[in-house]
Structure 1
Amino acid sequence: MFKVPDHQVGGHMAGNGVLGPLVDDAGNFYKPLQSDERGAKEVAFYTGLSTETRIPDEIRKFFPVFHGTRDLEASDGSGLHPHLVLEDIVSSRTNPSILDIKIGASTWYPEASEQYITKCLKKDRDGTSLTLGFRLCGLQFYGNKETGFWKPDRKSVNAFTHDDVRSALWKFVSSNSPSDSDAEPDCSYASTVYGGPDGIVSQLLKLKSWFEDQTIYHFYSCSIMMVYDKESILKGENPNPQIKLVDFAHVVEGKGIIDHNFLGGLCSLIKFLKDVLNNPKK
C-alpha cells in the first residue's frame, strides 16, 4: 500500500494536486522522476553508483540503497509516472528527528543555464550557503509524547541566519522542547548523537576522508540527511544516529579534480557539530 511519507522534511511534497514521493510498508521510498534532464541524470547516477567499484563499502553505506525504477500512479492524479525506488531511511523509526542539510557554498553546476545559476545564486546568498558552506533545507525535531514534533515550515528554515543554524544544531540534540523559544537548548544528547565512534561526527569524518581523495563525482545541490531516534534515548536504548547523502540530479563527473565545493561545506558542518560537542553549555 502506497502512502504519502509522514516524515518528509525536504523536496516536493505530495498533496493537493502536487506530485511528490510515496512510501510503502516494505521500507521503500518512491521518488518521482523530474520530467526534464534532471530525472534522467539522477537515474544515471544511481545506476552508475551501483556498479562503481572505486567506492569502498564504508562509504557506499552513506547512499540510499537503489532498487531501480518503477511506474506508479502519480500522487497528483496524473496517471502513471516513473519513480526511483530507494531505501526509506526512516521506515524503521517511530518518531525520528531529522535534519536536511544542503552542502556546498555553490549549489549550481558549471553546465547549468544562466537562468538556473541566477536562481541558485539568489538562494545561496539569501541563505547561509555562501557564508557557511551549507544551509538547512528542512527539519523535524521530536520533543516527547506530549509536545510531539517541532517542524517549522520550509520558508522559515530557508531564511535561517548563522545564529539560527547554530541554534538548530543545538536543539537537535537537546532534551528540552525544541519548540520552546525561551528555553536554552541543553544539548544533553550531544555526546550520544554527535559523539562516539558511531556518532554523526565520526560518520561525517569518514565521508570527509573520502572526499579528500575522490575525484569521480562533483556533488552540486546534494544534501546530507541526519537522523536519530530521541525516543530511544528516553528509553535508554541506542538512538542509532545515521547520515545519508540524498538528491543527485545535479551530480557531474569529477574529471580527476577534488570536489572542493562539497568538501568545504562538509568541513564547515563538522566544525559546527564539534563546537556543540566541545561547548554543550555555551
Structure 2
Amino acid sequence: MAAMLQRPEHQVAGHEAGAGKLGPLIDGSGNFFKPLDPSDERGAHELAFYNSFYSDQRVPRSIRSSFFPSFGGTKILPVPDSPDLLLPHLVLEDLLHGYSNPCVMDVKIGARTWYPNASEKYYAKCLKKDRNSTSALLGFRISGLQVHHESGRWKPHRDKVKKYAVTEVRQSLRQFVSKNPDATDPDCALASLVYGGSNGILAQLLELKSWFEDQTLFHFYSTSLLIAYDKGGKAARVKLIDFAHVIEGEGIIDHNFLGGLCSLIKWVSEILADAKTAAGPTDPQLLERAADLEAAAGLTEPKVAVGPTENGIH
C-alpha cells in the first residue's frame, strides 16, 4: 500500500508533504491520510475531536454524512522523504476522489481564528493573520483555490490569496464559477449550476447554517469549508475540514463560526443573484428556486400574497 501513496494533486491550502515537511497523502482509492506529529499537540487534538464527534449521538447523522469527512481511525504509515520513519495518520475520506477536474476553494471561517486560552504567541500570530486578511472584516478568508477551464488550470499562489482584500475576495468567488477565471471580468457562467439549485453550494450552506443556529456541542476555531465541484458544475459539495482547534461548546452557540458562515452565504447569494440578472429570462421554476434561496439567506423581503378578503404572508 505504501507504494501507492502520493501527495494530493489538488491541495490548495494547508501543509504539503515533501522537502522534510509532513503533509497529507492519498492512496487513489478514496482515502486521505493526515499525519499526526507526536511533537505537535494539534494532531492529538484533532484525533480527539474525530473520536468525540463520531461517537456523539447528539450530532445528527445527516450532518455527519453531508458536511464532515468520513473517519476511519488511524494507520501507521512511512513518511515520504524518510521511509524509515513511521508515523500515525488519520484515515479520512479523500473529498476529491472521483473528480476528474476538480474546482476547489478553501475558506477559513470565523472573524477570530484563535481559541480561548491560546498562548500569547499563538494569539498574536492569529490576530496578525486575521487583521491582514478579510477574516476580521468579513468573518471569513479564502486560503486557496483552483479552477479548471478549457485552456487548463488557474491556481493563484496561496500566499497571495491569503492576503486578498474585500474586492479580491468577491472577485475570487466570481472566478470560482467562471469559464474564464483568469479574465479581468469573469463570466460567472457556472454560478447557477454551482451556487444555485436545490443541491447547490448555497442550499448546502443554508442547511449547515440551520445546524449551527442550534448546535452548542462544539466551537470550531480555524476550521475551513472545502467547497468543490467537478468541471462543468457537477457534484458541488461543502465539507468542513481542519479540527485541530475545536473546543467543547458548553451549551453556547458558536457565534464566531456562525457569523462567518452567514457572511459567506450573503456574498454567495449576491453573486448568484447578479449572475441570474445578467443571464436574463430563464426557466420560471429556476427563478422561483433562486428567489427562495435568496429569501432564506435574508437578502429579500418575504413574498406577500394578497387575497380577496385578507393579506397573507407566505
Displacement of 1:55 in angstroms is: 1.2
**Take 1:195 and 1:57, find their aligned partners in 2: how far apart are those partners?**
25
Alignment of 1:37 with 2:41, yes or no, is yes
In structure 2, give the amino acid aligned to 1:227: A
What is the TM-score normalised by the length of structure 2?
Answer: 0.84
What runs of 5+ residues in structure 1 fail to find an aligned partner?
234-238
Q: TM-score, normalised by structure 1?
A: 0.93
* Contact 2:134/2:141 (<8 A) preserved: yes
Instruction: Encode CA deviations 1:110-157: one digit per residue, 9 max, x unaligned.
Output: 02101100000000000000000000001111112xx21111111111
Matched-pair contact (CA < 8 Å) for 1:18–1:75: no
Q: CA deviation at 1:16?
A: 2.0
Q: How many residues align?
A: 271
Give distance in 2, aligned partners of 1:194 and 1:272.
11
Is 1:174 the equivalent of 2:178?
A: yes
| 1:194 alignment partner in structure 2 | 195
* Aligned mates of 1:149, 1:170 — CA distance in 2: 16
CA distance in 2, matches of 1:109, 1:169: 27
Aligned to 1:86: 92
Aligned to 2:229: 228
Amino acid at match of 1:57: R
Letter in 2 for 1:139: L
1:31 match: secondary structure: strand
1:18: how far off?
1.8
Deviation of the 1:189 alpha carbon = 1.0
Residue 121 of structure 1: aligned partner: 127
Q: Which amino acid aligns with 1:23?
A: I
Query: Any runs of at least 4 consecutive aligned residues in structure 1 with deviations exceeding 6 A, and if so which?
Result: none
Which residue of 2 is the match for residue 25 of structure 1? 28
> 5 Å matches for 1:69-218?
69-77=74-82, 79-144=85-150, 147-176=151-180, 178-180=181-183, 182=184, 184-218=185-219
What is the CA-CA distance between 1:194 and the residue it aligns to?
0.5
Q: Deviations over 1:214-249 (max 9, x none)?
A: 00000000000000012x45xxxxx01000000000
What's the CA shift for 1:85? 0.7
Match of 2:256 among 233, 254, 261: 261
Q: Find the aligned partners of 2:81 and 2:54 in 1 and give their Cα distance.
A: 30
* 2:253 is the alignment partner of 1:252: no
Q: Equivalents in 2 of 1:59, 1:68: separation in Å?
A: 19
* Higher RCO (Cα < 8 Å, 6 or more apart): 1
Q: CA deviation at 1:76?
A: 3.5
> Which secondary structure state, in structure 2, belongs to the residue aligned with residue 155 of structure 1?
helix
- SS of the residue aligned with 1:127? coil
Q: Whole-Å Cα distance in 2 between the matches of residues 42 and 143 of structure 1?
A: 35
Alpha-carbon deviations, 1:181-230, whole Å to 9, x = none?
Answer: x3x11111111111111001100101100000000000000000000012
Unaligned runs of 5+ in 2: 280-314
